[in-house]
Homo-oligomer: A and B are copies of this chain.
Amino acid sequence: MIVLDPYPRTLDQIFTPADRARLQRLGPVRWHDGPPLADDDVEPLLAETIAVIGQTALPAERLARAPNLRAVLNVEGNFLPNIDYDKCFRRGIHVLCIAPVYAQPVAEMALGLALSAAREIPAGDAAIRAGTEQLLGGDLGEVFLLRGKTLGVVGCGNLGRALLPLLRPFAGEILVHDPWLQEAVLRELGVEPVGLEELFSRSRVVFVVSAVTTENAHAIGREQLELLQDGSLIVLASRAAVVDWDALMDAAASGRIRVAADVFPVEPIPPDERARTTPNTVLSAHRAGSVPEIWPTVGTMVVDDLEWIFRGLPPRRLQRADPETVSRYRSKPIG
């Protein structure tokens, strides 16, 4: 039995008719939609379950009652602490999530935000609508090119790796900080591995695209921000928890740096969130990953990987949980 428990996704959102048909060819499917499967619904299925598609809780005792389980495919982007991952690994159960599907949308948005902030595109648009524009930008003294600038990327997982190809044609040095990757791994990607401080000291634009982990919460604070050169830009595209938000807003308000942020410490954004009135910012309401065209890809990736697993081959499309890191992630589903 392949058990569907797709919340917060819906079946229609992620499965095309073609992918539903492919899924059904893999075995009996327990279709379910809407709110999470109730415990009472889950229990009787466990004995027959070969795969779970969703975020169903799978503590040790449930896993013990699911002897045929071969794969858990989370159709949301975060690994939650409701699974006994260690048990899964020891039994060879694949634990996968759809994080890679967000990589391209976030990477494109991160670049869009960087160009928007560097060239003041939203402010320029607002000025024309308000009738206050200055032709040729007037004394826009601070707009700048990306070409040739040193660009820093904090985090080189799915998001960072999707971002790098978009940054390369700007032909500047690319610095990357990722404490989970050996330096040689980053060098093979054609970037320069650096510590967080060096990254902030040298980069004109800093892209923050790291997942929140047990180790990096608020790691980017006042001290790092002070290392930035005047007129630098931070693009915050993963989660707000990796920065000291007050320090970030202070730096933008001071006029020393620019900030483009897709994420906020509290979401939905409270009415009195100070970013709403902070100058030198470009703001986006956690929309970097939200592009409708990616949803059908989720279903395709899920079925592709299930096909592969049932064929006795390693899944290649979704992200595999690593025993060493799966319990260190602290990014949460939103709203």
Q: How far is the CB of A230 from chain B (nearest CB, A)?
A: 14
Instruction: Say yes or no for A159: interface residue by CB 8 A criterion.
Output: no
Instruction: Say yes or no for A322: interface residue by CB 8 A criterion.
Output: yes
Among A90, A125, A291, A312, residue most surrounded by chain B Cβ atoms (within 10 Å):
A125
In the complex, which of the residues B89, B118, B184, B314 contacts A304, with contact meaning CB atoms closer than 8 Å? Answer: B184
Contacts of A89 in B (CB 8 A): 92
Residue interface mask A315-335, B partner, CB < 8 A = 1? 011000011110000000011
Instruction: Say yes or no for A146: interface residue by CB 8 A criterion.
Output: yes
Provide the bound-state CA to CA distance between A268 and B132, in Å. Answer: 11
Instruction: Say yes or no for A21: interface residue by CB 8 A criterion.
Output: no
Size of chain A's interface in residues, with CB distance under 8 A?
85
Instruction: Say yes or no for A147: interface residue by CB 8 A criterion.
Output: yes
Do the beta carbons of A276 and B115 come within 8 Å of each other? no
Instruction: Say yes or no for A299: interface residue by CB 8 A criterion.
Output: no
Provide the bound-state CA to CA distance between A291 and B166, in Å. Answer: 21
In the complex, which of the residues B166, B287, B317 contacts A140, with contact meaning CB atoms closer than 8 Å? Answer: B287
The 3 closest A-B pairs by CB, nearest first: A112-B115, A133-B285, A122-B122
Residues on A lying within 8 angstroms of B by beta carbon are 89-92, 104-105, 108-109, 111-113, 115-116, 118-122, 124-129, 131, 133-137, 140-147, 165-166, 168-171, 180-182, 184-185, 190, 267-269, 271, 275-277, 282-287, 290-294, 300-301, 304-305, 307-308, 312-314, 316-317, 322-325, 334-335
A131-B271, A135-B267, A140-B287 known; 4 other A-B pairs, CB under 8 Å?
A112-B115, A136-B286, A137-B285, A182-B316
